[in-house]
Amino acid sequence: MDLAIEDDVELRGLNTFGVPARARRLVRIGDARQVRAVVDHPELGRLPKLVLGGGSNLLLTQDPAGLVLKMEIAGLRVLHDDAQSTLIEAGAGVGWHELVCWSLEQGFGGLENLALIPGTVGAAPVQNIGAYGMELSERFESLDLVDLTTGRAVTLERAACRFGYRDSLFKGALAGKSVITRVRLRLPKPWRAQLGYAELQRHLERAGLAEPSPREVFDAVCAIRRAKLPDPSRLGNAGSFFKNPVVNRTIRNEILEEFPEIVSYPLEDGTYKLAAAWMIDACGCKGRSVGAAAVDARHALVLVNRGGASGAEVLRLAESVRDAVRERFGIELEYEPVVV
Query: 65 with 84: CB under 8 angstroms?
Result: no
Catalytic residue among 103, 142, 178, 240: 240
Residue 336 annotated as catalytic: yes
For 270-280, b where at least 16 C-beta lie within 10 A, e where not — what string? eebbbbbbbbb
User: For residue 168, which of 340, 338, 332, 339 has the smallest C-alpha distance?
Assistant: 338
Q: What is the DSSP letter of 162?
A: -
Q: What is the enclosing helix (H) or strand (E) of 203?
A: helix 198-206
**Rounded CA gap, 234 and 217, in Å?**
25
Instruction: Round the CA-based radius of gyration of the chain to a whole number and report it.
Output: 20
Catalytic-residue membership of 137:
no
Compute the distance between CA of residue 271 and CA of residue 6 in angstroms, rounded to an integer: 48
Is 240 a residue of the active site?
yes
Residue count of the chain, please give it. Answer: 340
Identified catalytic residue from 72, 89, 313, 336: 336
Nearest to 122 by CA among 56, 206, 198, 39: 56
From the list 36, 166, 184, 322, the catalytic residue is 166
- Looking at the annotation, which residues are catalytic? 166, 240, 336
